Chains A and B, each alone.
Chain A
């Protein structure tokens, strides 16, 4: 199993893995950062606790990029994972190999969805607030969502059935009444009309275009109407999300300072050097850039112009989504620009993750559910997970 920590001698048909943003009490949790090398948590992710209670067995921990903000995990302190010249995601590899039936992962900046799209897997990013974030290393709390990676839609459906629900330990957790809409037993109206968001197809390569065409064809064949729709506002989610995510990230990782736990620099003179040396030595480049960037957006001079503006843009985006959902049951869009990232591509653009999230930011900033299948993404209005999974089944051509 391609996990950095593995439980030995586990045999079950309900083996799952957790990515390294999920806190575990019997294995370390490091968020892919040297800062948390060997960190043992005293609390366990609520999602994991609920899964264990239903007989699921945690088989291991899958590596992530440092604080899960990168493309697929390439910024992990343990190094990037390449196979056949293409960047790979650890959790996706484990699930694709069949060593685990599913992975629960943090979708903070779309890495889980990209991993699913590029590995031919299914991912479900549920409606914000339906799965507790208790026991999850925080990145961008206003959008962080515990997500599921599996090789079929039914497994995603089984797992969300277990992990969705109110948790009093998470102040943003929704009521059981609302969460029950995600359950297997819930009634739902199926996806009949889909908006193909053409504004979101900028920059995709021929392979992704082919995936999108295949999805449209599969949906149309099964009687779903697909209509092309333009919306430039939703397509501007990326810059707004980059601001909000970086600012929240900057604040959330300020706690890692070499005092309470985690990495402490060998040499320092005085408290400020202890902080600065520890953080400088333990944090990677992309994280540092995001911290500096996020911090600047919150400065007194920029708060109204940048941060506050982006909070308002978020509402406009949510309203635009609502308009579309007035006419359509789901929105179809790409998940990434290409189906693999080469070593060269990554070396040439250190900020690719903050550009590739063009495709994932709309669902992140709005907290809407998204299902990736057949390499493409279906975004629905809140609590439409069941309908999305059923439509995704068609796209993934499952059961044929």
Chain B
């Protein structure tokens, strides 16, 4: 694990770590390497991945509309709104 990788991960996750937090993360990754070696011993070549532990399929819903929440309620805890919109600093495309 390189500092460069950490920096990239900070950007990717919109976080800024202090130096001691970076050390902490590096230590965590170092342990992970050992863990991975242990996992490599488990043969999974013939095993399908398991995303869901219960082998059920999706139950679809019918295409019906219901509006149960008001904009006022949804925006009650918003840091900044204007004319019914949430607001952010100007985004340049």
Contact = CB atoms under 8 A, between A and B. Distances in A.
A289 B20 CA distance: 11
Contacts of B48: 312, 315
A184 interface: no
Contact of A366 (B53, B73, B77, B89): B53
A311 B53 contact: no
B38 A351 contact: no
B36 A259 contact: no
Interface string A110-123: 00000000000000
Interface in B54-71: 54, 56, 58-59, 61, 69
A283 B10 CA distance: 13
Given A260-B78, A308-B49, A128 B54 contact: yes
A274 B89 contact: yes
Contacts of A39: 77
Chain A contact surface mostly: helix
B59 A239 contact: no
A291 interface: yes
A288 B17 contact: yes
B29 to A, nearest CB: 7
A368 to B, nearest CB: 8
B9 A295 contact: yes
Contacts of B89: 268-271, 274
B87 to A, nearest CB: 8
Interface stretch (A86-94, A168-176, A186-194, A209-217): A168-176
Interface stretch (A51-59, A73-81, A250-258, A389-397): A250-258
Contact of B35 (A143, A242, A382): A242
A288 B21 contact: yes
B13 A292 contact: yes
Nearest to A38: B77
Interface in B1-35: 5-6, 9-10, 12-17, 21, 24-25, 27-29, 31-32, 35
B47 A316 contact: yes
**What bracket does the count of chain A residues touching chain B fall in?**
35 or more
A277 B5 CA distance: 20
A351 B32 CA distance: 12
Contact of B14 (A175, A276, A354): A276
Contact of A292 (B17, B44, B73, B76): B17
A40 to B, nearest CB: 6
Contacts of A279: 13-15
Contact of A312 (B32, B50, B56): B50
Contacts of A314: 49-50, 53
A106 to B, nearest CB: 17
List the 8 closest pairs (A to B, CB-CB), nearest first. A239-B35, A367-B53, A312-B44, A311-B49, A264-B79, A315-B50, A275-B14, A261-B77
Interface of A: 38-40, 42, 128-129, 142-143, 168, 171-172, 174-175, 233, 236, 238-240, 242-243, 250, 254, 257-262, 264, 268-272, 274-277, 279-280, 283, 285, 288-289, 291-293, 295-296, 305-306, 308-316, 318, 350-351, 354, 365-367, 382
Given A238-B35, A382-B54, 13 more contacts: A42-B73, A129-B54, A239-B36, A239-B39, A259-B86, A260-B86, A271-B91, A283-B15, A285-B21, A311-B50, A312-B48, A315-B49, A316-B44
Interface of B: 5-6, 9-10, 12-17, 21, 24-25, 27-29, 31-32, 35-36, 38-40, 42-44, 47-54, 56, 58-59, 61, 69, 73-74, 76-80, 86, 88-91
27 contacts: A40-B77, A128-B53, A142-B52, A168-B61, A239-B35, A239-B36, A239-B38, A242-B32, A254-B13, A258-B79, A259-B88, A271-B91, A279-B13, A285-B21, A288-B17, A289-B24, A291-B15, A293-B32, A295-B9, A296-B9, A305-B36, A308-B49, A309-B36, A309-B39, A313-B39, A354-B28, A366-B53
